[in-house]
Amino acid sequence: MVRIAALIRLYHTVKFLRFKQIYYRLFYRLRSRWRRVTGFSYPLAVTSDVTPITLAPSIQSVALFQNRRADFLNIVHDFGNGIDWNIATYGKLWTYNLTYFDYLHHGDASKEEGMALIYDFVKQMPLLKDALEPFPIALRGINWIKFLTHHHIDDRAINDALYAQYHILMDNLEYHLLGNHLLENGFSLLFGGIYFQDAALRQKASEILYAELDEQILDDGAHFELSPMYHQIMLFRLLECINLLQHNPVDASLQKFLETKASLMLGWLRHMTFQNGTIPLFNDSTNNIAPSSRELFDYAVRLNVHVNSRPLHESGYRKFSKDRYECIVDVGSIGARYIAGHAHADTFGFELHVNNRPFIVDTGLSTYEANERRMMERSTAAHNTVTINGNDQSDVWDAFRVAERAEVTSLQEDADTVTATHNGYEKRYGVLHQREFIGGEKQLTLIDTIVSDKEYHAVARVHFHPDITDEEIAQSLRFEPACEYAIREYRYAPEFNLHVKAKVVEVLFTQKLKTVIAL
């Protein structure tokens, strides 16, 4: 029975994939096996022809690598006498970040240490594993080119090693994943194509960017994976490419296209940014990874890219903005359908700031490892919404998988009210969950209705920021019908590998619950 259940779950995961993803997964796997048999290997240096490029100042990185000490994702590692570029001690994401070379652009990074790190990496290339996968190659390519340009460095060994990596990237474009991964490939190929005067790289970059940006940027400006953090990352990379094309004109039509998409993304980000400059931690989002909204807006001004602000719509997010508070709610379905790895089971979740201070928050994101913590952070119980019989609305599993998922089946709204229904529990229990958000001037009201003739064990949760006290919680919450609620402790995750004790309120109800949050 366990085996059958696993196969059913796999089917409900794979059925959302596109044919291209399945084809390339099979193709790359079979090709890899064939190449192992034949002894194929990529050259790690390819003769290159580089023409110096120009770039305007960008945004500094928060990652730091100094005096053999790597400091990012809230983990510090001292490499002592030698750097292990394959280090796996802290999980694959940390290894990836080590090989991205973002730290070349930290404010305290020096030219000399940056060159030493790149030389060491090039020397160890025959031994590298994760670092030669397409995603880290793509990010590293942009970072190396920016570093070499900033310091006016023309180094044959580095250039030839980087050009070889671009050949590997071109042979392993992430069509099996699509989404932000393929978009990152395209951004990097544009940098590589201009830096190395390679028409093939530029052509492939244009092909990817036109197609993927048209699909991945929704009409309201959101990146379609619906993570505010990834939206910031994609916008940053888009602005980097605009910087590149503005100062090294090779394709005016592509530049105009990128500027149009960036303007839309800036508009969405303005809606989704609280007045204190932070973003809601919906889906896979956390702090101190992407550039901040303020940094991105300032960068756009320097590049003369304007904000095109459209009302929130296709992304499924809505915002109440009052004198005392801001509330951003999620009344959309999981996105994107065929690449939902960064999605959480959080339909009808919300975040609330009062007087520019975080009050009700999402649990956050602390890990990408396939472990219990990752499962908890993606679960419905980790968000400000409702579980039924202790189950998730959407079947999130493994580290980046979603099988059957909740769909929003109805949505009505006006200036101060949003009412939506999702079917995440319908198949199992024959019930729908409806939530109404009412944004008053001095209170936010939620009305949850379990649409069913039967009674079920429903639990509504409200996660508070660590700074909020039990007294503030008691003063702010009222439930109708009047009922007892439990205040429990949970671990808030505002950054990777960082947990802070905070309080969550859990309310048991059967069919209807009115929650009034006095503000």
Kind and range of the H or E run holding 444: strand 443-451
* Main-chain phi, psi angles of 511, to 5 degrees: -125, -35
Asked which of 164-173, 371-380, 450-459 is least confident by mean pLDDT, the reply is 450-459
Give the chain's radius of gyration (CA, Å): 24
Whose tokens are 């990408």? That residue is: 368
Count the neighbouring beta carbons within 10 Å of the beta carbon of residue 472.
15
Note the pLDDT of residue 3: 86
Mean pLDDT value across residues 245-258: 98
What is the identity of the amino acid at 311? P
Average pLDDT over residues 432-453: 97
pLDDT at 502 over 90: yes
Tokens 């003739």, located at residue: 453
Angle CA(260)–CA(264)–CA(267) in degrees, nearest 5? 140
Is the distance from CB of 298 to CB of 203 less than 8 angstroms?
Answer: no
Backbone phi, then psi, for 281, in 5-degree steps?
Answer: -90, 55
pLDDT at 1: 66
Tokens describing residue 110: 């020096």
Instruction: Determine the Cα–Cα distance for residues 59 and 482; give it in Å rounded to an integer.
Output: 51
- pLDDT above 70 coverage of the chain, percent: 100
Residue 439 φ/ψ, nearest 5 degrees: -95, 95
In sequence order, what DSSP letters do the residues of 385-426 get, joined into one string?
A: SEEETTB-SS-EETTTEE-S---EEEEEE-SSEEEEEE-TTH
Predicted confidence at residue 482, as pLDDT, reads: 86
- pLDDT number for residue 371: 97
3-state secondary structure of 326: strand
Spatial contact of 361 and 478, defined as CB atoms under 8 Å apart: no
Nearest-angstrom CA–CA distance, 347 and 196: 46
- Using the predicted structure, report yes or no on whether residue 484 has a pLDDT greater than 90: no
* Closest listed residue to residue 315, CA positions, set 254, 231, 392, 383: 231
pLDDT of residue 270: 98
Dist CA 483 CA 492 (whole Å): 26
Name the burial class of residue 414, with classes exposed (0-12), middle (13-18) and buried (19+) by CB atoms within 10 angstroms of its CB: exposed
Phi, psi of 2 (to 5 degrees): -60, -40
- Can you tell me the distance from the alpha carbon of 354 to that of 180, in angstroms, rounded to the nearest whole number? 33
Is the entire prediction scored with pTM above 0.85? yes
- Contact status, residue 76 vs residue 116, Cβ threshold 8 Å: no
In sign, the C-alpha dihedral spanning 339, 384, 281, 374 is: negative
Count other C-beta atoms under 10 Å from residue 271's C-beta. Answer: 19
Give the model confidence (pLDDT) of 35-49 as tens digits: 999 999 999 999 999
Average per-residue pLDDT in the chain? 97
pLDDT (tens digit per residue) in 153-212: 999 999 999 999 999 999 999 999 999 999 999 999 999 999 999 999 999 999 999 999
pLDDT tens, 296-331?
A: 999 999 999 999 999 999 999 999 999 999 999 999
For the record, the structure tokens of 32 come out as 């890899």
Contact 268, 222 (CB under 8 A): yes
Q: Quickly count: other Cβ atoms within 10 Å of residue 442's Cβ.
A: 10
Residues near 298 by beta carbon (within 8 Å), at least 6 away in sequence:
none
Mean pLDDT score, 464-471: 97
